[in-house]
Structure 1
Amino acid sequence: MFPAAREGMVPSAGVALALRARPWLKRLDTPMCGRELDACVGVSVPMPPDLSFDMAGRSYCVLWRALDAMWSKFGDVPADMAAASAGTQDSLL
């Protein structure tokens, strides 16, 4: 996803390019409801009940926690997510 590190450093220009190509990376720490999680990533992201919180009658979770819980559960990127993101500019892979 990011350029390879050279001597322990990642080139800032490469990081900026990766962030522009994958706008969802800027939202990794943003609390989202289930519908927002799905819209941000483009496929169904299950809301992890043990990592979410309720506010105004909805469950919310930050994107990175939801993705981490989903990938931990499946052991890898789910096939439907890989297929949905294959060949797109903001691919998760």
Structure 2
Amino acid sequence: MLAFTLDKYHLNKAITQAVGNKPEERREIYSALKNSDQNHFKKITSKILAEAASEVEKKKIKDFKRYVLNNLCQVRYWIAGQPAYIRALMPVLNCEI
């Protein structure tokens, strides 16, 4: 069985694609994820979405938000410093950290 593991590279790539060169928004997103604050993450991404100038930007932000929320377990384990082999077991492990 193949398992998807979210790593630092892919999370960074997703954040960069979503918010581009906006260091304050990037810091807020990382802070929300590091603190496992899903509500703050949703608030930040909603704010960024409201400020988006084009439909292309809005789609990128929506896709990013969905990507992170669909992989929140992976993000939490990665932030907590769990190794890849633990993250690969996500389908059989409880998500709570």
Q: Normalising to structure 1: TM-score of the pair? A: 0.27
Higher strand residue share = 1
Structure with greater contact order relative to length (CA < 8 Å, sep ≥ 6): 2
Q: Normalising to structure 2: TM-score of the pair? A: 0.26
Higher helix residue share = 2
